[in-house]
Amino acid sequence: MKKLEELTRPNIWALKPYSSARDEYSGKEASVFLDANENPYNAPNNRYPDPLQWELKRKIAPVKHVLPEQIFLGNGSDEAIDLMYRAFCRPGRDNVVAIEPTYGMYKVCADVNDVEYRNVRLDANFQFKADGMLAAADGNTKLMFLCSPNNPTGNNLDRKEILSLLERFEGLVIVDEAYSDFSDEPSFLTELERHPNLVVLQTFSKAWGCAAIRLGMAFASPDLIGILNKIKYPYNINRLTQQEAIRMTEQHYQVKQWVRSLLEERARLMKEFGKLDCCRHVYPTDANFFLAEVDDAKKIYDYLVDRGIIVRNRTNVTLCHNCLRVTVGTRPENDALLEALEKYPS
Ligand code: PMP
């Protein structure tokens, strides 16, 4: 890996970050706070939250087997994706390489930040090769985006190829594990010590059932996390979100239970979906959704919308012609989908 200083935008490396009142004083003993121009009434929402969310990070760390200093928390993992561009990619000069198809925000953030986005098409099994990614890179490639399990295809990417990329690429490799709680494969968090160029993204939005509180996690070396902390908005995670996430970490057995029942439902739903007349193929998945090729994705999508059932039409996505992406819901929700499609006049 290149030195972090070489990968970081020079203005960011040199940046002296904003120092908030809560950064300058963070001791516990004081009881009179006249430093942050807050209103003394309406506790507890009158006070700014901890800018670095230490209490929450100390709860997440043992669940994920990392140090609190290896965790960045963002307003969804989308914030971490955007900050990776802002920290490492010089607008108009640097580029990133990503698999295609994949999660759309990698490209949107590239466009917002005026960074060239190079994509490398997956093969017919929705797999990638490290060689292909490296062939698309040059001396200005700062980041590579991988998503495993991938969205919208649902499958895990080949672990050996990810490890090969981590060994051979001199920039940063981002492995987005938004859906990894639904997969049997171990997380790449266990590779953080061996690979200082690895950034793992996870989120509270999927298995943790907390999409509304907007909390995403990036895991990496403490030095790299320090760069993201330096450029984030001072109070990017509000107090209500921090409190709710702390509550969730104290009942992560509940998350395990949700995952177990969603995996059972996934197996049942995929089996039944495969029997439908309109279904041509159900792709294997490691996530809480699956991709299915149908005879006419647009028509079926519209038919379902008319019945108040919304799936995602992915027909315009590379390699996904006539594909619908179906999220696994509760048993009654899945039954509603199946019943509607059994009545679909194909
Ligand atoms: N990564 C992937 C692969 C996703 O599919 C999504 C959301 N659909 C995200 C990240 C963003 O998640 P968050 O809610 O944490 O911003």
Instruction: Give me the half-sphere count of Cα atoms (radius 13 Å) on the Cβ side of residue 216.
Output: 20
- Under the banding of pLDDT at 50, 70 and 90, the label for residue 20 is confident
pLDDT at position 22, please?
Answer: 79
Residue 151 alpha carbon, nearest atom of ligand 1: 3
CA 291 to chain centre: 19
pLDDT at position 19, please?
Answer: 87
Per residue in 90-105, pLDDT tens? 999 999 999 999 999 9
Residue 215 alpha carbon, nearest atom of ligand 1: 15
How far is the C-alpha of 91 from the C-alpha of 111, rounded, in Å?
10
Per residue in 154-211, pLDDT tens? 999 999 999 999 999 999 999 999 999 999 999 999 999 999 999 999 999 999 999 9
Which among 151, 183, 248 is the best mutation to test ligand 1's pocket, defined by most ligand atoms within 8 Å of the CB? 151
pLDDT at position 117, please?
Answer: 98
- Diameter of the chain measured on Cα atoms: 71
CA 59 to chain centre: 20
Sign of CA dihedral 233, 238, 244, 249: positive
Interval between CA 43 and ligand 1 midpoint (Å): 33
Residue nearest to atom 8 of ligand 1 (CA): 103
Query: What is the value of pTM for the model shown?
Result: 0.97
Which among 60, 108, 203 is the best mutation to test ligand 1's pocket, defined by most ligand atoms within 8 Å of the CB? 203
How far is the C-alpha of 110 from the C-alpha of 89, rounded, in Å?
9
pLDDT at position 23, please?
Answer: 80
* Residue 74 contacts residue 238 (beta carbons within 8 Å): no
Tally Cβ neighbours within 10 Å of residue 80.
Answer: 25
pLDDT at position 44, please?
Answer: 95
Please, which residues bridge with residue 323 across strands?
Answer: 293
Per residue in 286-342, pLDDT tens? 999 999 999 999 999 999 999 999 999 999 999 999 999 999 999 999 999 999 999
Query: Is the CB of residue 76 below 6 angstroms from any atom belonging to ligand 1?
Result: yes
Interval between CA 319 and ligand 1 midpoint (Å): 21
